[in-house]
Amino acid sequence: MMVENTSLIKFREIERKTMPHYYDYAVAIEKVVKTLYDKTGKVFKIYTSEDGFDELNSAVIQMLKDNSEEIEVISPIFDYISARKIHYKDSREYFISASDENNLIYFEKYQVAYANITIYQSHADYPLEFIFAVDDESILSFIKKMIEKERNFMLHGITVLTDTEDGLERSKEEITKQIHRDDVLLADNVKRDIFRSIDEFFSKSGTFFKTYDIPYKRGILLYGNPGNGKTTLVKSIAGSVEAPVVYWQITEYTSSYSIDEVFRTATKLAPVILIIEDIDSMPYDSRSFFLNTLDGATTKEGIFLIGTTNYPEKIDPALINRAGRFDRAYEIKHPNKNLRREYLINKQIIEFIDEEQIDYLAQETKGLSIAQLNELYMSMALEWHYEKKVDVDKIIEELKENHRKTMKQDFEIEDYNEKLGF
């Protein structure tokens, strides 16, 4: 095979001792290019991307899992590196597919190939992703299709982006239990406003916004004490909208680079929901860049941004005091008496106590969060299961006392002097 090569340094003209690392790297690439030429009769060129290949890699993995007919695994690259991958399903079943690593993967329709190749060096080895295509038109058409596929795959779960020491880590969480909007316990006016804005944003790609000449972007901030349903609300939104949901976990490693990458990812998938939980934990050094990103003219186009915090007092005032960053802030309060009663009835607590006791419970649980009400139900169910009776007053008192100690961090800790195992 003859490949036109006008490069200054040519693999075939050097010896390994001259440039050992490049030589070893080029051996693998040469084998891939030759294999593709033998298969198709065409010369494939290597492409790179300033954005990386995260969306592409994710789409390829899913297509391999689904045993898609659009994908052909030509051959493993190295003979003694795994080319098969074991996957686990939530149904507690395992299945095996071709791995996205150490395989030469070919998309005949687009004349594009993908390979995740291990590069060996004296001090370490590391995987690198490569895209091969016959020309620019092929690769552009392929990327467009893969982003479309990735967006469709994302409709069936939540994509989690986590800032780590090694960069932005990407994973996917399946929605195993659908949380319906009726399950969300909120004040009627708050619940109505949130779901109306959500529905109009994703209805016909924002026709409402175009009709009324409103910028096609939206941001809401949910704040309030923990345990009152902010996460439940977010999950119900994620499960009731035909749009990708990206969940971004801020950490101490969050930086201008990860912020830029998150918003670039979201923009490519738009219209999309971008959730930032515990937004108050944004590292101080990254806050200015984050605010500037939100102010960008096109950065948020097609993005419905949801921020949550348990500590609104820690939020930078600049985040919510300027239009275009967060449009509305909603306080998710402790449930009132009517909501507490509704919650208890929906939990079928009538199986343990009569209706009069439900009213009593709704009154006596003032100040408790939804999470604490859930624990109340759990305690009552356990007591009923074993005793066939429920001491309502005792359980409420225990729950309130535990809450008091938790808030004051007033737990008694015994001092054990003995060492374990001696």
Helix axes 370-387, 337-346, angle to 10 degrees: 40
> Which amino acid belongs to residue 216?
Y
Q: What pLDDT is recorded for position 83?
A: 94
Q: What pLDDT is recorded for position 7?
A: 85
- Structure confidence at residue 379 as a pLDDT band (50, 70, 90): confident
328-331 vs 218-223, strand pairing mode:
parallel
Q: How far apart are CA 186 and CA 339, in angstroms?
A: 8
Q: Read off the pLDDT of residues 35-45 as tens digits, 9 standing for 90 and up.
A: 999 999 999 99
The whole-number average pLDDT for the span 364-392 is: 86
Q: Read off the pLDDT of residues 44-65 as tens digits, 9 standing for 90 and up.
A: 999 988 777 777 888 898 899 9
Residue 137 vs residue 176, higher pLDDT: 137
Contact yes or no for 67/27 (Cβ under 8 A): no
Contact yes or no for 200/208 (Cβ under 8 A): yes
Q: What pLDDT is recorded for position 416?
A: 34
Tell me: pLDDT of 106 over 50: yes
The alpha carbon dihedral of 305, 308, 313, 314 has a sign of negative
Helix (H) or strand (E) holding 120: strand 112-120
Q: What pLDDT is recorded for position 102?
A: 94
Q: What pLDDT is recorded for position 304?
A: 92
Q: What pLDDT is recorded for position 409?
A: 54
The whole-number average pLDDT for the span 237-263 is: 89
Q: What pLDDT is recorded for position 422?
A: 32
Q: What pLDDT is recorded for position 322?
A: 65
Q: What's the whole-number average pLDDT of the chain? A: 84
Q: How far apart are CA 163 and CA 255, in angstroms?
A: 8
Q: Read off the pLDDT of residues 172-212 as tens digits, 9 standing for 90 and up.
A: 777 666 778 887 888 888 889 999 989 899 888 788 888 88
Closest CA to 112 of 134, 145, 136, 81: 134
Q: What pLDDT is recorded for position 29?
A: 94
Contact yes or no for 71/99 (Cβ under 8 A): no
94-98 vs 157-164, strand pairing mode:
unpaired
3-state secondary structure of 4: coil
The whole-number average pLDDT for the span 120-143 is: 90
* Ranges assigned E (strand) in 206-349: 218-223, 245-249, 272-277, 303-309, 328-331
Token pair, residue 298, equals: 């096109």
The whole-number average pLDDT for the span 317-345 is: 81
Q: What pLDDT is recorded for position 414?
A: 44
Tell me: pLDDT of 391 over 90: no
Closest CA to 346 of 365, 362, 332, 364: 362
Tell me: pLDDT of 166 over 80: yes
Superfamily of domain 172-331 in CATH is: P-loop containing nucleotide triphosphate hydrolases (3.40.50.300)
Q: Read off the pLDDT of residues 271-330 as tens digits, 9 standing for 90 and up.
A: 999 999 888 888 989 988 988 888 875 567 889 999 988 887 777 777 666 666 788 888
Where exactly are the structural domains of the chain?
A: 11-154, 172-331, 337-407
Q: How far apart are CA 335 and CA 366, in angstroms?
A: 8
Residue 233 vs residue 411, higher pLDDT: 233
Q: What pLDDT is recorded for position 233?
A: 85
If you compute the radius of gyration of the chain from its CA atoms, what whole number of angstroms results?
A: 27
CA dihedral of residues 189, 190, 195, 198 (deg, nearest 10): 130
Residue 366 vs residue 420, higher pLDDT: 366
The whole-number average pLDDT for the span 3-31 is: 86
3-state secondary structure of 32: helix
Length of the chain: 422
